[in-house]
Amino acid sequence: MSYQAKGLQAWLLQRLTGVFMALYILYVLGVVLFSENLNYQQWRDWLSHPLMNTATGLFFLTLAYHAWVGMRDIVIDYISHDALRLLVLTLISLFLISSGLYLLKILFSLTLTV
């Protein structure tokens, strides 16, 4: 089945996405922790900046891939019943896709409004 691990590719991408997410998380935490009394306008302006907006979208893409590989590996390890495994994997992918669309909506709401 197509959801099965493509060994090396999944292994490598799991690490590359991990590195990107680590950098993004450290940056965001750094900004949020060290900017005193962050107000709404600053928060919104920061995330509306094209670079930050794009980085956040990219962050979710890498997160979705990372989470998919991780969750899939766990499901393959612990759920051996074929139909149940497929059902759970389908639910996980739907969960990630709808979360992605939700984030897309949030990001677009920042850039498309006046």
Partner 1 sequence: MHSSVHSAVRSTKSRPKNLNLLSVRFPLSAVMSVGHRAAGILLFLALPWFLYLLQLSLSSESGFLQVKNDLNSIWLKMLILIFIWALAHHFIAGIRYFLLDLDIGIERQMAQKSALLVMILGVLVTVIVAFFLF
- Contacting positions for partner 1 (CB under 8 A): 15, 18-19, 22, 25, 39-40, 43-44, 47, 67, 70-71, 74, 95, 99, 102-103, 105-106, 109-110
State the minimum distance, in angstroms, from the CB of residue 74 to partner 1: 6
* Shorter beta-carbon distance to partner 1: residue 4 or 39: 39
Residue environment code for 25-60, b if the CB has 16+ CB neighbours within 10 A, otherwise e = eeebeeeeeeeeeeeeeeeeeebeeeebbebbbebb
* Shorter beta-carbon distance to partner 1: residue 2 or 105: 105
State the minimum distance, in angstroms, from the CB of residue 61 to partner 1: 14
The dihedrals phi and psi of 6, each to the nearest 5 degrees, come to -95, 80
- Would you call 63 exposed, middle or buried from its count of C-beta atoms within 10 A (0-12, 13-18, 19+)? buried
* Shorter beta-carbon distance to partner 1: residue 84 or 106: 106
